[in-house]
Structures are given as C-alpha cells and as structure tokens.
C-alpha cells in the first residue's frame, strides 16, 4: 500500500503491519490506524508512529526501556483484555516524544505509554496508575545521568 507522509514522502507499507487503535490516541480519537516506521536504523531506540489515515500525522516515539533502564510498568488488566495480550513476548511499549526547538529539552511520556500487541496489531495509549513516572521525562538529562553512573559502583576488588 502506498502512503503519502509529511516526513518521509511517499512510502510503501505492508498492510499486515498496520496497528489498529480502536479508540485512537487521546487527542486524535478519529485516527485509528498507524504503522511503526524505523528512521533507517532499526537499532535506534527512536521510531515514528505514523498515521495511515492522515499522512500529516506522525508521533516521534522511543522504546522507554532503552532510555530509562529501570523503567518498570504494570500494564493494567483492562488494557491486557482490550488488546488480547496473552504473553509479555507479544508486547511492544513506546513512549511518545516531544521534540522542541531546543533539543536538550526533548521529553518522553513515561506516564502514558503506547502499548501494542505485536501478535494481533492492536494498540492503545495507556495511562498508568502510578506517580513514579511523568508525562515529561527529559531524555538528554536521563542519558547524562546514566553516563555519570557507569562504573560508579564497580565491584572490582583491589589485589
């Protein structure tokens, strides 16, 4: 299927990879079909959640587990049921990223991740029932914090 997009021009997509958001994404309830696009590098944690219904609409997204190493969530039972999730292996979790002009202020939404069942291609944005995470988690700040912590608690013993 050919899709004309704002960021990627005209691209060919595999219709079998279209993800259906029964309720849309909050604020975009009328847009129900999306596809995850890789920006040329499948190893990058950054991807695009591109609308199939509106080529002008795409969300920058990131795998939150690759940025925040201790990110630990419990998907609500209602979401598990709505998405027909049978095992953790069929779940993809993405966080929507806000990329402002000043890149150092780039944030991701850890409070309301996008959860996708990769087996049946159903998706939804889920608001977590926790105060541990914010809707504006600073990515660059998090990466800097991890750099500082590397090696900080080395287990090597002097001989």
pLDDT (0 to 100) of residue 145:
85
Whole-angstrom Cα distance, residue 17 to residue 64?
21
* Assigned fold of 2-149: BH3618-like (2.30.290)
93 Cα distance to chain centroid: 5
Question: In this model, does residue 156 exceed pLDDT 60?
Answer: no
Q: What percent of the chain has pLDDT over 90?
A: 79
CB count in 10 Å sphere of residue 37? 19
Model confidence pLDDT, tens digit, residues 15-51: 999 999 999 999 999 999 999 998 777 777 899 999 9
Q: Where along the chain do its domains lie?
A: 2-149
pLDDT (0 to 100) of residue 43:
76
Report residue 153's pLDDT band, with 50, 70 and 90 as the boundaries. low
Structure-token match 């190893």, residue found: 43
- pTM (2 d.p.): 0.88
Count, residues in the chain: 159
User: Which residues are CB-neighbours of 40 under 8 A, at least 6 positions away?
Assistant: none
pLDDT (average), residues 57-81:
95
In order of 25, 43, 141, the CA distances from 104 in angstroms are 26, 22, 8
pLDDT (0 to 100) of residue 37:
94
pLDDT (0 to 100) of residue 158:
47
pLDDT (0 to 100) of residue 159:
44
pLDDT (0 to 100) of residue 82:
96
């Amino acid at each position: 299927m050919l899709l004309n997009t704002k960021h990627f021009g005209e691209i060919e997509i595999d219709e079998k990879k279209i993800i259906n958001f029964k309720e849309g994404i909050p604020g975009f309830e009328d847009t129900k079909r999306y596809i995850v696009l890789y920006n040329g590098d499948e190893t990058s944690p950054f991807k695009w959640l591109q609308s199939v219904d509106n080529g002008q609409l795409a969300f920058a997204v990131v795998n939150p587990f690759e940025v925040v190493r201790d990110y630990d969530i419990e998907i609500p039972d209602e979401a598990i049921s709505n998405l027909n999730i049978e095992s953790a292996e069929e779940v993809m979790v993405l966080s929507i990223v806000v990329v402002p002009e000043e890149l150092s202020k780039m944030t991701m939404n850890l409070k309301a991740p996008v959860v996708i069942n990769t087996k049946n291609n159903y998706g939804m944005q889920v608001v977590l029932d926790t105060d541990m995470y914010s809707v504006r988690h600073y990515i660059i700040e998090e990466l800097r914090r991890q750099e500082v912590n590397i090696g900080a608690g080395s287990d090597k013993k002097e001989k």
